Amino acid sequence: MAINLTSLGTTPSGEELQHVIIQNKNGHKLGLVSWGASWQSFKTAAGQDLVLGFHDVDSYLNNNYYIGNAVGRVAGRIDGANFDLEGHNYQLDQNEGNNTLHGGEKSFSHRNWEIKELDEINNRVVFGTSLDENEDHFPGTMQVTVTYALSDTDEVTLEFSALSDKTTLFNPTSHVYFNMGGLETDANKMQLQIKADRYMELRKTDKIPTGKLLPVEGTAYDFNTVTTIGEAIAEIPSDDFDKKFDDVFALDSKYQTNVVLSDPVSKRAVEMTTDRNAVVFFITNPEVDNYSDQAAFLAEHPYNGVALEAQTLSDSIHHPEFGDIVLPANQQKTYTTKYAFKNL
C-alpha cells in the first residue's frame, strides 16, 4: 500500500491543487484532487480508468457538471433558494434559475480543501475545510472533513463529517461519475440495479420535488432487477434530444447493497452501500456543454458517465417527511458510503 502526493498546478489566485494517488496491494489506484475534495480516478492495475476526472487546474475551476466533486452543504436543489430554520429565514445563492443547486456558488465544490491527514497504514486521506455563513449564506461556521480510504479488497470508503457552531443544514454527496467499461465506452450499454420501489416526482420546469413519491413498478424507473440503461432511457416518455435520467430514488433500507452498476462485456462492477435514504441517478456526456449544437454532438458521442449520488431525499428542508438534514449546533454528524469494485 502506498500514497503519492504531487501538485496538479496552481490557480490564478495562487492556490496549489494537490493530487493524491492511493494504491492498494492489487495495484489498483484511487486518484483524488484537493479542489472540491474530488474523486478524480479509479485505475485498475492494467491502467483502465473507470471514473471521469480532470488532469488540469482549469477544468476543475470550470466544472459545470461537478465531475468528481464533494457536494454540499446541501446536495440537490433547494426550492426558491431559501428556507426557514429556528425562526429565521435564510436566503441562499440562486445559482440555477430561482433555486439553489448543490450548495450554491461558494459550496464544497468551489474551494481548495486542505489535506489534513495522509494515513499510509490505513490507505486513507482526509480533506478538511471551513465554511462561513458570510460565504455561502447557510447558518453557522461549519467544519467539514471528507475521508477517502482504499482497501486491499478494492473497496473505496467515502465519509463526510461536519460540525457547526449554529444549527444548520447538512446533506452532502459525492458527484463521482463511473464508466465500468472504461471512459470511451457507451454508458447506455451498462447495466444498473437500484433497490428502490419509489422515485421522486419532480416539476418539469426546474426539477424541484413536488412532495410526491411515485411507484417505480411498470415504469422506466424500475431498476429493482438488473436493467440495461439505454433500454430504460428508451422507455422515458420524452422527445427531448438529450433524454436521460436525472432522478432521485428512495432506497429500500432492508437491502445491504443499494446500487450495482456493471459492464456486461468486461464484467466489471461497482456495488454501492450507503447509510443515506436516497440516490440520484444521472447519466450524461459532460463534453456536451462545449458545443453550440448539442443535439448533433450527442448524436455522434454517446453518454459516457453515470453519477450515483447518495444523499437524503432532495429538498427535504421543505418536506420533512423525506428525511432530516438539520445539523444541530455543536453536534457532529457523519455519513458513510462504500463502493466495492468487482472483477477488476
Specify if 103 maps to a domain: yes
CA distance 92 to 332: 23
**Structural domain tally of the chain?**
2
Give the pairing of strands 177-178 and 305-311: antiparallel
Q: How many other CB atoms sit within 10 Å of the CB of residue 91?
A: 11
Q: How many residues does the chain have?
A: 344
Nearest-angstrom CA–CA distance, 140 and 132: 6
156 and 228 together in one domain: no
Other CB atoms closer than 10 Å to residue 288's CB: what's the count? 16
Tell whether 293 and 336 lie within a shared domain: no
- 145, part of any domain: yes
| DSSP 8-state code for residue 166 | S
Domain membership flag for residue 322: no
Exposed, middle or buried: residue 74 (CB in 10 Å: 0-12, 13-18, 19+)? buried
Q: In a structure prediction context, what are the per-residue pLDDT tens digits for the chain, which is 344 residues long? A: 799 999 999 999 999 999 999 999 999 999 999 999 999 999 999 999 999 999 999 999 999 999 999 999 999 999 999 999 999 999 999 999 999 999 999 999 999 999 999 999 999 999 999 999 999 999 999 999 999 999 999 999 999 999 999 999 999 999 999 999 999 899 999 999 999 999 999 999 999 999 999 999 999 999 999 999 999 999 998 877 678 999 999 999 878 899 999 999 999 999 999 999 999 999 998 887 777 888 787 777 789 999 999 999 999 999 999 999 999 999 999 999 999 999 98
Is 30 domain-assigned? yes
152 and 266 in a single domain? The answer is no
Residues 17 and 131 in one domain: yes
- The owner of cell 446536495 is 75
Any domain includes 151: yes
Q: Which amino acid is at 55?
A: H
Q: Which helix (H) or strand (E) holds 127?
A: strand 124-131
In a domain, 115, yes or no: yes
Q: Check if the beta carbon of residue 149 is closer than 8 Å to that of residue 122.
A: yes
Tell me the C-alpha distance between 243 and 235, whole Å: 10
For residue 308, count other CB atoms closer than 10 A to its CB.
27
Which grid coordinates are listed for 246?
436525472
220 and 83 together in one domain: no
Both 265 and 239 in one domain: the answer is yes
Q: Dmax over Cα atoms in the chain, in whole Å?
A: 56
CA atoms of 339 and 271, how far apart (whole Å): 5
Helix extents (H) in 4-132 = 57-61
Per-residue pLDDT, 290? 78
In a domain, 38, yes or no: yes
Q: Please give the DSSP secondary-structure letter assigned to residue 203.
A: -
Q: Are residues 117 and 221 in the same domain?
A: no
Q: Does residue 321 form part of some domain?
A: no
Do 240 and 171 lie in one domain? The reply is no
- Domain shared by 135 and 92, yes or no: yes
Q: Are residues 248 and 199 in the same domain?
A: yes
Beta-carbon contacts of 59 under 8 Å, excluding residues fewer than 6 positions away, are none
Helix, strand or coil for residue 302?
Answer: coil
Indicate the pairing of strand 16-23 with strand 2-10.
antiparallel
From its phi and psi, is residue 320 left (phi > 0), alpha (psi between -120 and 50) or beta? alpha
- Residue 268's identity, in one-letter code, is R
Q: What is the pLDDT of residue 241?
A: 66
Residues 77 and 197 in one domain: no
Q: Domain residues for 275?
A: 185-311
In this structure, what CATH number is given to the domain that contains residue 212? Answer: 2.70.98.10
Do 12 and 161 lie in one domain? The reply is: yes
Nearby residues of 168 by Cβ (< 8 Å), 6 or more positions away: 73, 85, 138, 139, 140, 142, 326, 327, 329
